[in-house]
Amino acid sequence: MFNDRQYRKKELGAMVLSKKLAALLASIFFVAVLTAGCGGSSSTANKSDSAGPVTIKVAAWNDAADSLKAEIEGFQKKYPDIKVEMQYVDNNYTKIMPRLASGSEVPDVIQTQNRDFPAFMKKFPGEFVDISDKVAKLKDKFVDSSWDPVTVDGKVYAMPWDLGPSAIFYRTDMFKEAGINVDAIETWDDYIAAGQKIKEHFGGKVAMTGYAPDFDIFEIGFNELGGNYATKDGKISLKSDQAKQALTLYKKLVETGTAIDIKDWNGRITAIKNNKIASIPFGVWFAGTIANSAADQRGKWGVMQLPAFTKGGNHSANLGGSILTITKQSKNQDAAWKFIEYCLATDEGETVMLKYGLFPSYKPFYDNAAFKNKDEYFGEPLYQFFAKQTDAILPIHRGPIMLDADKPLKDMISGVIAGRNIDEAIDTAAQEIAKKTGLTVQ
Amino acid sequence: MKQTVVKKITPYMFILPFFLIFCIFLVYPIFESFYLSFTAAEGSTSSWVGLDNFRQIFSDALFWKSMLNTVIILLVQVPVMLFLAFLLAVAVNNKNIKGRSIFRLAIFMPVLIDLVTYSIVFSIIFNDQYGVLNYILLMLHLPGIHWIQNPIWAKVTIIIAITWRWTGYNAIILLAGLQSIPDSIYEAADIDGVSGVKKFFLITMPMLKPIFLFCAIMSIIGTLQLFTEPFLLTNGGQPDNATETPVLFIYQYAFQSFHFGYASAAAYVLTAIVAILSYLQICVSKGGEI
C-alpha cells in the first residue's frame, strides 16, 4: 500500500511520463501504419510471364469451383509450368468484393454470374482485362447470346462459361403414384392442377415445388415471355406485361400451395432429400446437385419441358450461367488466359465441366460423345435434352443493373406474396432500381 | 533510474496492443466512413458529392420504413421484455427457491448462444411447413400461421426471438440491482408498518430506477442495431420489407450492391439518431438519479 503522499508523487511522475509516452505511442502507430501501407506495394516485383513456373489464383464458388479444381490435373499435363490455386468464395461476392474495391489480394481469375458482369464493369471500371483479340477466333464457336453480357462497348472483357437452359426436374415415382401424365402438362395452369393432385394424393405431405426468397421462378417466367429488364439504350423496362404475367404466376403458385417456402438453397436440398417436393423448375446446372445430394433417389428423377403460359407458347428459358474474367491486377494474364481457354474452349476441358453439370456455351462440344452420353442418374441423355431447349431461348437485356436490382426484385416478389398490388409492386421495384443505378424508368 | 522507467512504461506496453488495434479497426474506419459519406463511392469508383447522400436518405422511403419497423419492434418488445425480466429477477431473488444459482444460470443461457445458431434454430421452429410451432397449433386444432411470409407475423417472430434471447440477460442485471438495495431500508419500513405492496412501489421500484434506465437504454440501442435476426430469420428483412432494419439497409447497400458512400451516410444518420435518443432518455429521467 502507498500512503497518500507517495501515491500523489507517483501520479505526478506518471503525468510527466505520459506525455513522452503519448509521443512514443503516436510514433509507433505511425510506423505501423506506414509499414502496413508499404506491404501492399512492395510485392509488385516479378512481372515476367514466361520465366519459370507461375501460379495463378482462381476464385469461384461451389460446384463451379470444384469443376475448375478437377481441371487442374489435365491442364498441368499440357502446361506444366503453370500452377493453379483455387480459392473458394461465395456467390454473393462478399469475399471477392472487398479485394476488388481495395485492389489488394485480387485473384488472377474471377467467376461472376453472367447477369452480374455488366454491373461489375460499371462498379469496378478498369479492373478487368480486355480479351477481345484472344476470343476473336472463338466467336463463332460459342452460343451467340452468351457474348452479350461480357461485351461492353464492343470489347469483350470475360469468357462465357456455362448456360442455364431450364426445365422441370420431377420425381417420376411420385408423378406416377399420383396419376399425373407428364405429356399432358402443357401450360403452367396444367402444372398447378397437377400440383393439386400431388397434394391430395400425399395428404399434404408433398408439395409440387418450393420457392426461396429469390427471383429465379420469376425470371424463368419473365424470360419465357421475352421480357427485358432494361432497354438497349439503358432504360429500366421492368414495368411490362411480361413482368405482370410472371408475377401473377408466382402468386398463383404460392397461393395454391403448388410451391411451398423452402427458405433457401440448403432448404431446397433438405426438401428433396426428405421427399417433400415432387419437382423443381430450374436450370440444367441443378442436375448435378440433385445427383450429388440425393444419390439414393437415383432413377427416380426425370426432366420435362417447362410449361408455357398459353397452349403452344414458348417453353424455353435460361436461368443463370457464369463467366470467367481476368483481373488487371494479375501478373500472369497470359497464363490465366491459357487456363480459361483450356477449361472452356477445348473438348478435354468441357468433358470435365460436364461431369459437374455445367452446360457448355462452347458449341463444338455438342457433337462430342460425352455430351451425347446417357446420364447415369437420370437414365436419359440429359444434355441433349437441354441442348434442344436452347434453340428457343429468347435473349434478355439487363444492362448493368443486376447487383442493384437484386433486392428490389426480391422485395417485389415477397411483397406480392404478402398481398401487395402487382402493378404497384412492379412500379416500386422499377423506381428503386432506377434510384440505385442512376438510370431512368422507361 | 533505468529500472523505474521500465516499471513505468510496462503498464503502457500492456495496453499498447489494444490501442493499436483500436486505432486501426475503429478510429480509422470512423473517420474513413465519415469521409465516404460525402462521396458517391461505388465499387472502386468514387467522387465527391457533398451532402447529396444525406439529402437522398432523408427522402428514402425504405430507410424510414426500416426505422419505423425498428420503432414498432422496440415499442412492443422493450417494455414486454423488461417486465418479464423484472418478474424473473424477483423470482430468482426469492430466498425460498431451492437451487437458485441453477435457475440464474439457466435464464442467462440464451445470451451465450451464438446469434447465428439461434437465428437458424428459430427459423426452423417458425417454418410454416414443418416448424414445431405450427405443428403444436395444428394439434390444438388451430390454423397454422405463415410466420415468416406475413408482414405482421414476421415482426412478431422477430419480437419473440429477441425477447427469448435478451430477457434473461436483463433479468440478471435487474437481479444485481435488487441485491444492491440494502436490507436495512426494508427493515426500517417493517418497523414503520409499511405493507408489502407499498414497499414494492415505494422502495423497490425507485431504487431500481437507474438499473431499469440502464437496461432500457441498452435494449433500445441494441434493437436499433438489429441485424442478425432479420438477416437470417426473415431472409433479409422480408416479407415486403416488414422486418427491414436500418443496419440491414446499410449492409445491403454496402455489401450487396457496393454503394459505400450512401451506406456510410446512412450509418451516420443512424448513429446520430441513436445518440439523440440516448441523450433524450437520460435527460427525461434526470440522469437516472433517484
SS (H, E, C) chain A: CCCHHHHHHHHHHHHHHHHHHHHHHHHHHHHHHHHHHHHHHCCCCCCCCCCCCEEEEEEECHHHHHHHHHHHHHHHHHCCCEEEEEEECCCCCCCHHHHHHHCCCCCCEEEEECCCHHHHHHHCCCCECCCHHHHHHHHHHECHHHHHHHEECCEECCEECEECEEEEEEEHHHHHHCCCCHHHCCEHHHHHHHHHHHHHHCCCCCECEEECCCCHHHHHHHHHCCCCCECCCCEECCCCHHHHHHHHHHHHHHHCCCEEECCCHHHHHHHHHCCCECEEEEECCHHHHHHHHCHHHCCCEEEECCCECCCCCCCCCECCCEEEEEECCCCCHHHHHHHHHHHHCCHHHHHHHHHCCCEECEHHHHHCHHHHCCECCCCECHHHHHHHHHCCCCCCCCCCCHHHHHHHHHHHHHHHHCCCCHHHHHHHHHHHHHHHHCCEEC
Q: Nearest chain A Cα to B120, which residue?
A: A263
CB contact under 8 A, A101 and B127: no
- Whole-number pLDDT of residue A1: 36
* CA neighbours closer than 13 Å in the CB half-sphere of residue A370: 17
Rounded to the nearest angstrom, the gap between the alpha carbon of residue A418 and the centroid of all alpha carbons in its chain is 27
CB contact under 8 A, B24 and A33: yes
B149 touches chain A (CB under 8 A): yes
- Whole-number pLDDT of residue A38: 40
Give the list of residues 6+ apart from residue A5 with CB closer than 8 angstroms, or none: none
Binding-face residues of B in 167-186 toward A, CB within 8 A = none
Please provide the DSSP assignment of chain B as one string. -HHHHHHHHHHHHHHHHHHHHHIIIIIHHHHHHHHHTTB--BTTB--B-TTHHHHHHHT-HHHHHHHHHHHHHHHHHHHHHHHHHHHHHHHHH-TT-TTHHHHHHHHHGGGGS-HHHHHHHHHHHT-TTT-HHHHHHHHTTPPP--TTTSHHHHHHHHHHHHHHHHHHHHHHHHHHHHHHS-HHHHHHHHHTT--HHHHIIIIIHHHHHHHHHHHHHHHHHHHHT--HIIIIITTTT-STTTT--HHHHHHIIIIIS--HHHHHHHHHHHHHHHHHHHHHHHHHTGGG--
Q: Which residues of B touch A21 (CB under 8 A)?
A: 9, 12
Q: Nearest chain A Cα to B16, which residue?
A: A25
Residue B200: band (very low, low, confident or very high) from pLDDT cuts 50, 70, 90: confident
**Lowest model confidence (mean pLDDT) among A47-51, B45-49, B100-104, B195-199:** A47-51
- Whole-number pLDDT of residue A32: 47
- Separation of alpha carbons A158 and A336, rounded Å: 12
How many CB contacts within 8 angstroms connect chain A with chain B? 99
Structural domains of chain A, ranges and CATH numbers in brackets = 54-163+320-367 (3.40.190.10), 166-317+398-441 (3.40.190.10)
- Whole-number pLDDT of residue A16: 43
Q: B134-176, pLDDT tens digit by residue? A: 999 989 988 888 888 888 999 999 999 999 999 999 999 999 9
CB contact under 8 A, B238 and A414: yes
What string of pLDDT tens digits covers the 442 residues of chain A?
A: 334 444 444 444 444 444 554 554 455 544 444 444 443 333 333 444 455 789 999 999 988 999 999 999 999 999 999 999 999 999 889 899 889 988 889 999 999 999 999 999 999 999 999 999 999 999 999 988 889 889 988 999 999 999 999 999 999 999 999 999 999 999 999 999 999 999 999 998 999 999 998 899 999 999 999 999 999 888 999 999 999 999 999 999 999 999 998 888 888 999 999 999 999 999 998 998 898 889 999 999 999 999 999 999 999 999 999 999 999 999 999 999 999 999 999 999 999 998 888 999 999 999 998 898 888 899 889 999 998 888 788 888 898 999 999 999 999 999 999 889 999 999 999 999 999 999 999 8
Structural domains of chain B, ranges and CATH numbers in brackets = 60-288 (1.10.3720.10)
Phi, psi angles (nearest 5°) of residue B14:
-70, -40
B46 touches chain A (CB under 8 A): no
Which of B25, B134, B138, B258 to mutate to test binding with chain A, by most A CBs within 10 Å of its CB?
A: B258
B24, B44, B242 ranked by CB distance to A100: nearest: B44
- Whole-number pLDDT of residue A51: 56
Residue B265: band (very low, low, confident or very high) from pLDDT cuts 50, 70, 90: very high
Q: Which residues of A touch B239 (CB under 8 A)?
A: 414-415, 417-418
Q: Which residues of B touch A276 (CB under 8 A)?
A: 129-130
Q: Nearest chain B Cα to A257, which residue?
A: B129
| Partner residues linked to A155 by β-bridges | A152
- Separation of alpha carbons A208 and A197, rounded Å: 9
- Whole-number pLDDT of residue B289: 54
Determine the distance in angstroms separating the CA of A143 from the nearest CA of chain B, rounded to an integer. Answer: 29
- Whole-number pLDDT of residue A31: 46
Determine the distance in angstroms separating the CA of A176 from the nearest CA of chain B, rounded to an integer. Answer: 24
SS (H, E, C) A40-82: HHCCCCCCCCCCCCEEEEEEECHHHHHHHHHHHHHHHHHCCCE
- Whole-number pLDDT of residue A42: 37
Determine the distance in angstroms separating the CA of A314 from the nearest CA of chain B, rounded to an integer. Answer: 31
- Whole-number pLDDT of residue B23: 93
- Whole-number pLDDT of residue B136: 92
Angstrom CA distances, A369 to A142, A384, B176, stand at 18, 11, 75
CB B107 within 8 A of CB B172: yes
- Whole-number pLDDT of residue A165: 94
* Complex-level ipTM beyond the 0.85 threshold: no
- Whole-number pLDDT of residue A109: 96
Interface of A with B (CB under 8 A): 13-14, 17, 21, 25, 28-29, 32-33, 36, 92, 94, 97, 100-101, 103, 120, 122-127, 207, 213, 260-264, 276, 403-404, 406-407, 410-411, 414-415, 417-418, 420, 432, 435-436
CB contact under 8 A, B240 and A410: no
Give long-range contacts, CB 8 A cutoff, 24+ apart: A44-50. Answer: A46/A331, A47/A331, A49/A331, A49/A332, A49/A333, A49/A334, A49/A335
pLDDT beyond 50 at B245: yes
B240 touches chain A (CB under 8 A): yes
Considering only CA atoms, which of A292, A303, A288 is closest in space to residue A355? A288
Q: Is A279 exposed, middle or buried (0-12, 13-18, 19+ CB in 10 A)?
A: buried
Residue B287: band (very low, low, confident or very high) from pLDDT cuts 50, 70, 90: low
Q: Nearest chain B Cα to A404, which residue?
A: B257
Phi, psi angles (nearest 5°) of residue A266:
-65, -35
pTM given for the model:
0.83
Q: Which residues of B touch A95 (CB under 8 A)?
A: none
A25, A101, A261 ranked by CB distance to B43: nearest: A101
Considering only CA atoms, which of A357, A349, A281, A362 is closest in space to residue A318? A281
Determine the distance in angstroms separating the CA of A73 from the nearest CA of chain B, rounded to an integer. Answer: 35
- Separation of alpha carbons B154 and A167, rounded Å: 33
| Mean pLDDT confidence for B12-16 | 92
Q: B20-53, pLDDT tens digit by residue? A: 999 999 999 999 999 999 999 998 888 999 999 9
Determine the distance in angstroms separating the CA of B9 from the nearest CA of chain A, rounded to an integer. Answer: 8
Which of B26, B44, B57, B244 to mutate to test binding with chain A, by most A CBs within 10 Å of its CB?
A: B44
Determine the distance in angstroms separating the CA of B74 from the nearest CA of chain A, rounded to an integer. Answer: 23
- Separation of alpha carbons B138 and B145, rounded Å: 10
- Whole-number pLDDT of residue B163: 95
- Whole-number pLDDT of residue A43: 38
CB contact under 8 A, B239 and A101: no
B127, B239, B260 ranked by CB distance to A418: nearest: B239
B128 touches chain A (CB under 8 A): yes
